[in-house]
Amino acid sequence: MTDAVLTQPRRLGFARRVIDGGGLWPAVPALVYLVLFMVLPIITLLTFGFVTIDRGAITDGGFTLTHIAGVLGDPLVWNLMWRSFWIAVVSTCLTLVLAYPIAYAYGHLKGVWRTLLLVAIISPLLTSALVRTYAWIVILGGRRGLLNQTLLSLGVIDQPLQILNTSTAVVMGMTQIHLPFMILPLLAVLSERDRRFEEASLNLGASQVETFFRVTIPMTMPAIVAGFALVFAVSYTNFIIPQLLGGGNYSTLAVQVYEQTIVVLDWSRGAALATLLLTTCFAFVLAIVSVGGRLTRWSEVRR
pLDDT tens profile 169-201: 999 999 999 999 999 999 988 888 878 888 888
Are the C-beta atoms of 140 and 168 separated by less than 8 Å?
Answer: no
DSSP class per residue in 129-152: HHHHHHHHHHHH-STTSHHHHHHH
Per-residue model confidence (pLDDT) at position 6: 47
What residues have CB less than 8 Å from 80, skipping those under 6 apart? 251, 252, 253, 255, 256
User: Is there a domain that residue 32 lies in?
Assistant: no
Alpha helices in 167-266 (DSSP H): 167-191, 196-203, 208-211, 217-219, 221-236, 240-245, 253-258
User: Is there a domain that residue 233 lies in?
Assistant: yes
Count other Cβ atoms within 10 Å, centred on residue 214.
Answer: 14
CATH of residue 125: 1.10.3720.10
User: Is there a domain that residue 58 lies in?
Assistant: no
Residue range 254-275: average pLDDT?
A: 87
pLDDT surpasses 70 at 273 = yes
As a whole number of angstroms, the distance between CA 230 and CA 163 comes to 27
Residue range 86-108: average pLDDT?
A: 93
What single-letter DSSP state applies at residue 70? H
34-77 pLDDT tens trace? 888 888 888 887 888 887 776 666 776 677 788 888 888 889 99
User: Is there a domain that residue 132 lies in?
Assistant: yes
Residue 2: band (very low, low, confident or very high) from pLDDT cuts 50, 70, 90: low
Residue range 101-119: average pLDDT?
A: 88
User: Is there a domain that residue 246 lies in?
Assistant: yes
pLDDT surpasses 60 at 18 = no
Q: Please give the tally of structural domains in the chain.
A: 1
- Residue 114 to residues 101, 102, 127, 217, Cα–Cα distance (Å): 14, 11, 22, 21
Residue 79 sits in which domain range?
70-302
- Residue 30 to residues 17, 39, 42, 44, 202, Cα–Cα distance (Å): 21, 12, 17, 20, 48
Residue 242: band (very low, low, confident or very high) from pLDDT cuts 50, 70, 90: very high
User: Is there a domain that residue 238 lies in?
Assistant: yes
User: Is there a domain that residue 284 lies in?
Assistant: yes
Per-residue model confidence (pLDDT) at position 99: 94
Residue range 22-30: average pLDDT?
A: 75
User: Is there a domain that residue 22 lies in?
Assistant: no
pLDDT surpasses 90 at 232 = yes
pLDDT surpasses 90 at 208 = no
Nearest alpha carbon to residue 182 among 65, 110, 100:
100
